[in-house]
Amino acid sequence: MNRRRWVAGLAGLAVLAGLGLAPPVQQTEAAWVDPENATATFQALTVPAPEPWGTPSCTARTVLLVGGETVIRWRVPAGASGYTSADLEYARDVGGVLNPVLSSLLGTQTTTGTTSAYTTTFSGGLLTNALGGDLRFAMRLKGPGGWSSSWLVAYATFPALAGTGTCTLSVVSS
């Protein structure tokens, strides 16, 4: 039995000596070559903002017992195709922020015309702005993929009871 222990111990020493004499593990760098190439192109989409047309391009008035009415004359910019009034989103200033109008509770808006000459009318309900004041209305075009243009904003002031107010247009980033 002693002889077996002695052989086993000698074998263990041989293994340890072999590990000590073995060269260290070398670091390797993986690399490969693939003859296939892929290419792609893309184009950024810019949805054009509605642009004013006509003189005046914006009017505001108060009609006795009817309320305020703002009329905006706009068109799709030349060279921008595929956009119509069906792509229009409306907004009204609520606390300094343009919020899309999702219902007719804030008044009504109608758009008539063609891409080269639309007219959009924002009308309030009974007594809306009948005592005067000011409002901001806006519109923008919605494009494919949910992209949208800048807002065409009308800042309208209304006289008390009846008469013509003022209206100015500007373009504001979405």
Q: Given a cut of 80, is residue 46 above it in pLDDT?
A: yes
31 domain-assigned? no
The tally of CA atoms less than 13 A away on the side-chain side of residue 12 is 6
In a domain, 55, yes or no: yes
d(Cα 50, Cα 128) in Å, to the nearest integer?
Answer: 26
- Each residue's pLDDT tens digit, 81-93: 888 888 888 887 7
Contact 158, 61 (CB under 8 A): yes
Q: Does residue 94 sit within a domain?
A: yes
Q: How confident is the model at residue 101, as a pLDDT?
A: 66
In a domain, 15, yes or no: no
Q: Residue 58 has which token pair?
A: 């914006």
Q: Do residues 88 and 140 touch, judged by C-beta distance below 8 A?
A: yes
Q: Is residue 85 part of a domain?
A: yes
Most confident residue range from 34-43, 115-124, 131-140:
115-124
Contact (CB, 8 A) for 66 and 162: no
Asked whether the bond before 100 is cis by omega within 30 degrees of 0, the reply is no
54-68 tens-digit pLDDT = 889 999 888 776 678
Give me the mean pLDDT over the 1-17 stretch. 73
pLDDT greater than 80 at residue 72? yes
- pLDDT class for 43, splitting at 50, 70, 90? confident
Domain span holding position 82:
51-172
Number of domains, the chain: 1
pLDDT (0 to 100) of residue 35: 78
Please state whether the predicted TM-score (pTM) of the whole model is above 0.85: no
17 located within any domain: no
Spell out the long-range contacts of 64-67 with Cβ–Cβ below 8 A and sequence spacing 24 or more.
Answer: 64/130, 64/161, 64/162, 65/126, 65/127, 65/130, 66/123, 66/124, 66/126, 67/107, 67/123, 67/124, 67/125, 67/126, 67/127, 67/128, 67/129, 67/130
Q: Considering the domain boundaries, does residue 28 fall inside one?
A: no
What CATH number should be reported for the domain holding residue 159? 2.60.40
Q: How confident is the model at residue 65, as a pLDDT?
A: 67
Average pLDDT of the chain?
Answer: 80
| Percent of the chain clearing pLDDT 90 (strictly above) | 15
Q: Would 18 be classed as within a structural domain?
A: no
Of residues 44 and 58, the one with the higher pLDDT is 58
Confidence category of residue 118, pLDDT binned at 50, 70, 90: very high
Q: What digits encode the pLDDT tens for the residues 121-160?
A: 888 754 455 566 778 888 899 988 889 999 999 998 888 7
